């Protein structure tokens, strides 16, 4: 599916379409109600989904949008975050949910949902990659970022060797992330965005055809994305 916007309506339209496709007509509407687990991208947090969540909930779906470790309201020290621990934490969250979930990953954290699907294939109804890294076994998010010759964020990322983290400078927020959003979104980002653990971008995923390959996957291509450009998508 090809869409312009990277936030809000594009995710809503795509996930609602995928969630209800193929379901039989029934008087019991609970058959069509899904649990969406929404995973944000680099430097962001659960606030990414603040316009999407109420719309999905109004349709009767359940939405879980966690702050990843060290992001948003989560107070884990950024230097302590590890990819495998994050995967384990999210698997435990999913284990507590009755039935299967629709797992959505944005941007860099496409690798995260891929690894979760490998570890819990029986709990994932669908994977939805929203302008996200769709990696092969043995690769990391950084491996793919190096291939993107048209992204514009790179020169505006600073690195902290003491905490092994990265941060995107606010000067590129509007042009690089929110060019098709209102200024309100950009101003919110200046307050909310925070450092990103580097290890979660350099860790290599381990996925198989038996587990990961058994989970249906959908990709939403955002044609105006400047962080992960359409060529890389």
Residue 21 has pLDDT above 70, yes or no: no
pLDDT digits (tens, 9 = 90+) for 185-231: 999 999 999 999 999 999 999 999 999 999 999 999 999 999 999 99
pLDDT digits (tens, 9 = 90+) for 87-111: 999 999 999 999 999 999 999 999 9
Q: DSSP of 101-154, one letter per residue? A: EEEEEEGGGHHHHHHHHHH-GGGEEEEEEES---PPTT--HHHHHTT-SS-S-G
Sequence-separated (6 or more) residues with CB below 8 Å from residue 9? none
Output the pLDDT for position 32: 81
Secondary element (H or E) of residue 3: strand 2-3
Give the integer Cα–Cα distance in Å for 131 and 62.
23
Give the integer Cα–Cα distance in Å for 205 and 83.
9
Of 3-12, 45-54, 72-81, least confident by mean pLDDT is 3-12
Residue 22 has pLDDT above 90, yes or no: no
**Percent over 70 (pLDDT), the chain:** 87
Average pLDDT over residues 74-87: 97
Question: For residue 60, what are its two tokens?
Answer: 């009767």
Output the pLDDT for position 25: 42
- What domains are defined for the chain? 2-222 (3.40.50.1820)
- Residue in the block written with tokens 């038996």: 210
Residue 233 has pLDDT above 60, yes or no: yes
Give the integer Cα–Cα distance in Å for 9 and 12.
5
Residue 13 has pLDDT above 50, yes or no: no
């Amino acid at each position: 599916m090809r869409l312009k916007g990277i936030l809000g309506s594009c995710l809503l339209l795509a996930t609602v379409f995928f969630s209800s496709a193929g379901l039989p007509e029934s008087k019991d509407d609970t058959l069509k109600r899904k649990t969406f687990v929404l995973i944000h991208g680099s430097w962001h947090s659960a606030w990414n989904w603040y316009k999407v969540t109420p719309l999905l909930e109004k349709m009767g779906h359940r939405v879980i949008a966690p702050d990843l470790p060290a992001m948003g309201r989560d107070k884990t020290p950024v230097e302590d975050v590890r990819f495998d621990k994050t995967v384990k934490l999210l698997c435990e969250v999913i284990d507590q949910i009755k039935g299967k979930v629709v797992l959505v990953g944005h941007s860099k954290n496409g690798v995260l949902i891929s690894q979760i699907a490998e570890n819990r294939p029986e709990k994932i109804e669908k994977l939805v990659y929203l302008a996200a890294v769709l990696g092969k076994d043995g690769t990391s998010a950084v491996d793919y970022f190096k291939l993107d010759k048209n992204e514009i964020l790179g020169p505006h990322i600073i690195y902290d060797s003491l905490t092994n983290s990265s941060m995107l400078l606010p000067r590129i927020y509007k042009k690089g992330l929110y060019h098709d959003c209102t200024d309100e979104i950009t101003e919110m980002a200046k307050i909310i965005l925070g450092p990103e653990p580097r290890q979660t971008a350099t860790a290599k995923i381990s996925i198989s055809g038996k587990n990961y390959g058994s989970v249906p996957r959908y990709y939403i291509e955002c044609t105006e994305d400047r962080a992960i450009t359409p060529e890389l998508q």
